[in-house]
Structure 1
Amino acid sequence: MSKQTRTSRPGRTGVFLLTAACGLMAGLPAHAAETATQEVQRLRAQLEAQMKVSQAIQARLDALEAREAADAKAQAETKVQAEQVAAQAATQAKTIAKLEASSGDNGSFTMAGGRPTFTAFGGKGTLQIGLQAQFDAAAYFEDNASVKRSGVDLGDGVNARRIRIPFVFRYGDVTATVTPDFGGSPDGRQNTQYLYEANLAYMPFKGFTAALGYLQPNISLQDAPSSNDFMFMERPAIMDVERNIAAGDARAAVGARYYQDRFFVSGFLTGQAYGGQSTTTATSSIGSTGSVTTAISTTQPSNGQQTGAVMRVAGRPVYGEDYDVHLGFSGSKVFSMNQNDSNRLAQNLALSVQPELRVDTSKLINTGSMPATGVYTWNPEVGLRYQNFLVQAEYVEIGINRQHQAGAGLGGASQTPDLTFQGAYVDASWVLTGEPRLYQSARGGFGGLKVAHPFNPETNDWGALELAARYSDINLNSHVQRFLAQSVTGGVAGGQQDVIQVGLNWYPNDHLKFMADYQIVDVSKLSGATLQNQTGLRYQAVGFRAQVAY
């Protein structure tokens, strides 16, 4: 065979190796190949499942982001809407204010605080009309022996104690008040109209008031609250006597008062009370209660009018939500007397007082006429409230200055010494339904209570209920010795009165009040040429009052 035509072929050895490899490959187990394929498929399935989970998570994230975007948009829209509503409300408020002001120019009517109120002058002027009406009834149970000794038999009956209709006109910082009183003691004062107040007040800033006219100057803790807010039907007797010397109702006065949360101060220059200038009757009342009278001669006119001053400093140095501690001091001084005695040198002054009810008008203690060249009073005051319990007390001293005349008295002493009278009281209130008697800084004392649950049987509400107790004493004796004539000592035997009483007050709401008082009264008085006779009176009394006030 020729070398040029021979092709290249594998050798025997190469053929053998190729054959062996193919045999070996053909000899591998079949299940090993299948396992690898399944593993690949399993892994591929897991990957697909994981991809689906990832896609689901991503979808949830996308939804949350979309929701947050929607919430943010909603919040923004809501904020815009709120701003628009607020702007509309402000515009409406301005419109309402303009309408009210424009309507006030022509007059408008409301019931502010339960009082008919007319508004005019662009809202700067208001006229309020109020009402206070108190109707009393009482019965007296006397000791027969003392009735015989005293010759006084108190009569049961009724009395319109106060019927006041205040007209209050305000314009800016100026207030004009006129209040007639158709009640009294006795009611109507013998059917004559009586003026309770008529004055002008200027209030340029909060807490300060300057006043001029017939008004009630501030004196004593008992004189601080309105008569609508009394614990009992009347003030303690000693307080009525003191207030009517230079203060009291319808007193001609000019002065000012100023208060803050912790203190109250007032001072007034005072003159005669309304009607006190009359010279046509034998005696004329200086005060509304008739507790101080001036004997006036029908033939000897008075030489000038009484002039005095009244001051009061009070406050609550310690107070909190549940408690108030009150301290104060009041005083008055008459330094220019209404000189109406026969020598026109002194004022014929008499101190007297009715019992602490005003149905029977008898005055069981009375100094009689005393020529006086000057009068003064002073009294400390204290009060304490803890939650719905209140206790307060005052002491009063009244001094009478007289012309001194040497005579044949004891040891050649003066027959007309200066006189001193005194009295005191302590009273307490416990509001059974829990309402407190709140402190009134503007008055410098404790006021009434705010009924928490007005009377309504459908809701089982019965208003407020208050239990009160008081002891009061007044002594109109000075330089007195039994079995010794007053001409010898120069003293005055006006008598002494002690009253123990308890009261129950029901407040159906803030405008109605019903009172029931029970009193034990002991009046001790000496009479006769040498004060040898005991002509006092002992009795018990029950009194009732129905009151409405707006």
Structure 2
Amino acid sequence: MRPFATPLLLLTLALPSATLAQSGLEWPEEGVPELRLGDGAVQLAPVLRLDLDAGAYGDQDRPGGFRSGTNLRRARLGVEASLPHDLEATFIWDFGAASVRDASDLYEASLAWDGLGWGTVRVGAYKPQHMLEQAGSSFDLLFIERAVISDLAADVATGTGRQAAGLEVRRDRWSMAAYITGGEMSKPQSWGQRGVAGRVTAIPLRQEGMLVQLGANAAYQWRPGQDGAYNEASLSGYPELRVDSRRFLDTGDVEADSLWAAGPELSGVAGRFFGQAEYQVIGIDTPRGGTRHGEGWYVAASFTLIGAARSHDPETATWKRPSSPEPFDAAAGHWGALEVAGRYSVADLRDGPLQGGVQRIWTAGLNWYPHPMVKVMLNYQDGHLLLTDESRNFKAIGLRLSYSL
């Protein structure tokens, strides 16, 4: 088993086992099932997440383009444990096809301490709270996939399953998160990586029905390494729909002494309207030829047609999905929550000899939340790729069915 996984798994299992002999079991009548041990001193809750995607590409003006298909994007199974002394442990496997190399990957094995009162110390393998789209749950995303520039910048030193130790601070009108990071659990050849990452946010405006949040983030990796080779980096991205493994936006392997990413963010809600935007510049410091840059940004907005609008989550300084007090029941006139959304995203990976291409995508989305644990997403994309020797246009329709326990 990989670093961090073994000790955290043993801690997660050993503490409940030690109290099982002298404790009763309690299952709440409502909400997520929960196993309580030691008069509630230890609480175990299951984690189950399923994302089933289907996508169809069309209007491609060149052969050999993106292929239509289906994908079990996420299939996560694990446990979250609330332990004595303000400790929390999480252990989750992901059997989803998009992250699989053999049959499954360790998604998270982390231990968190909330004893400070104003923040959390977190160690293990997890997704650091770096950037607006990366800090929150994928179940709360506006679209089927994050904007490609968010994934490119996260690959510098964060992303899912990243070995990390960090401090997350939460106050009334601001937050801060800082991490020291290593490689990704799903990429054993990246374990030699070493980096740092951080994010700060502030709320300059908060009043009834309106909240605006500003933020900035940065990541730096001083020891790049991939595919068994150190001092090497690459940047590549999907077309914001992962039913095909092809990625035309791709720099290939680049010799690098270090790489970094940084940028601002803006998000807010006004009544039923919600908006967010991020910009990132990415630098690859090469031993010959200086620093090569890539950049990208996106702007997105949504409107809640039915149900309560998106709400701010102070734990992660992100935004929760729309909600409805009543689950879907057509006979009773309850339709859950319904949201429409739009986004324009750009990623440009061209700078001198760095020729990874340009990707621009318009996306329209319709999100239905018939139940707090169920989400249905329909996306339409109109995309354009500008590559070194060709241009490609494409259109796509994507559908996602999600369940989160």
Q: Normalising by the residue count of structure 1, what TM-score does the alignment of the two structures yield?
A: 0.67
Could you tell me which of 473, 477, 502 is aligned with 2:364? 502
- Which residue in the other structure is 1:165 paired with? 77
Equivalences for 1:106-125 in 2 at 5 Å?
A: 106-111=23-28, 114-125=31-42
* CA distance 1:137–1:417, change in 2 (3 Å): same
Could you tell me which of 493, 506, 511 is aligned with 2:355? 493
Mapped partners of 1:507, 1:122: distance in 2: 35
- Which residue in the other structure is 1:389 paired with? 273
2:382 counterpart letter in structure 1: I
| 1:184 CA drift (Å) | 3.6
Any idea what SS the aligned residue of 1:130 has? strand
Q: Would you say 1:313 and 2:200 are equivalent positions?
A: yes
| 1:418 CA drift (Å) | 1.3
Mapped partners of 2:21, 2:34: distance in 1: 12
- Which residue in the other structure is 2:346 paired with? 473
Mapped partners of 2:242, 2:365: distance in 1: 16
* CA distance 1:386–1:339, change in 2 (3 Å): closer
- Which residue in the other structure is 1:175 paired with? 88
Mapped partners of 2:67, 2:241: distance in 1: 12
| 1:136 CA drift (Å) | 0.4
Deviations 1:269-302 (A, max 9, x none): 0011114333xxxxxxx5xxxxxxxxxxxxxxxx
1:522 counterpart letter in structure 2: H
Mapped partners of 1:184, 1:392: distance in 2: 29
Mapped partners of 1:222, 1:340: distance in 2: 27
| 1:190 CA drift (Å) | 4.7
- Which residue in the other structure is 1:332 paired with? 219
Could you tell me which of 377, 387, 401 is aligned with 1:515? 377
RCO (CA 8 Å, sep 6+): is it higher in 1 or 2?
2
- Which residue in the other structure is 2:137 paired with? 226
Which structure: greater strand fraction?
A: 2
Any idea what SS the aligned residue of 1:508 has? strand
| 1:106 CA drift (Å) | 2.1
- Which residue in the other structure is 2:302 paired with? 429
Which structure: greater helix fraction?
A: 1
Deviations 1:33-56 (A, max 9, x none): xxxxxxxxxxxxxxxxxxxxxxxx
Any idea what SS the aligned residue of 1:115 has? coil
| 1:107 CA drift (Å) | 2.6
Could you tell me which of 140, 147, 150 is aligned with 2:57? 140
- Which residue in the other structure is 1:90 paired with? none
Any idea what SS the aligned residue of 1:308 has? strand
1:105 and 1:123 in contact (8 A); partners too: no
Equivalences for 1:210-225 in 2 at 5 Å?
A: 210-225=121-136
Q: Give runs of ≥4 in structure 1 deviating > 6 Å.
A: none
Q: Would you say 1:206 and 2:117 are equivalent positions?
A: yes
| 1:428 CA drift (Å) | 0.4
| 1:348 CA drift (Å) | 1.7
- Which residue in the other structure is 2:170 paired with? 259
- Which residue in the other structure is 1:22 paired with? none
| 1:318 CA drift (Å) | 1.5
Could you tell me which of 264, 282, 294 is aligned with 1:380? 264
Q: Would you say 1:357 and 2:241 are equivalent positions?
A: yes
2:303 counterpart letter in structure 1: W
Query: What is the number of residues matched between the two proteins?
Result: 386
2:250 counterpart letter in structure 1: N
Deviations 1:139-189 (A, max 9, x none): 000333x33xxxx2322111000111231112121111100001042xx62
Mapped partners of 2:247, 2:256: distance in 1: 21
Q: Would you say 1:273 and 2:190 are equivalent positions?
A: no
Could you tell me which of 385, 402, 405 is aligned with 1:547? 402
2:90 counterpart letter in structure 1: T
Mapped partners of 1:354, 1:340: distance in 2: 19
| 1:355 CA drift (Å) | 1.1
| 1:251 CA drift (Å) | 0.4
Q: Would you say 1:154 and 2:66 are equivalent positions?
A: yes
Unaligned segments of structure 2, at least 5 residues: 1-18
Mapped partners of 2:170, 2:147: distance in 1: 26
Deviations 1:357-406 (A, max 9, x none): 010110011101101001111010011210111011010000010113xx
Structure showing greater Rg: 1
- Which residue in the other structure is 2:13 paired with? none
Equivalences for 1:90-129 in 2 at 5 Å?
A: 105-111=22-28, 114-129=31-46
2:359 and 2:385 in contact (8 A); partners too: yes
- Which residue in the other structure is 2:10 paired with? none
Any idea what SS the aligned residue of 2:371 has? coil
| 1:263 CA drift (Å) | 1.0
Deviations 1:516-546 (A, max 9, x none): 00000100101xxxxxx3x231110000001
Mapped partners of 2:307, 2:186: distance in 1: 43
Any idea what SS the aligned residue of 1:108 has? coil
Deviations 1:178-234 (A, max 9, x none): 00001042xx62542111100111110434110111011111111122011111000
Unaligned segments of structure 1, at least 5 residues: 1-101, 279-285, 287-303, 405-415, 480-490, 527-532
Could you tell me which of 137, 147, 157 is aligned with 1:246? 157
Mapped partners of 1:127, 1:322: distance in 2: 36
> What RMSD over aligned residues (CA atoms) do the two structures have, in Å?
2.0
Any idea what SS the aligned residue of 2:151 has? helix
* CA distance 1:429–1:112, change in 2 (3 Å): farther
Mapped partners of 1:447, 1:225: distance in 2: 8
- Which residue in the other structure is 2:315 paired with? 442
- Which residue in the other structure is 1:401 paired with? 285
1:317 counterpart letter in structure 2: P
| 1:310 CA drift (Å) | 0.5
- Which residue in the other structure is 1:28 paired with? none
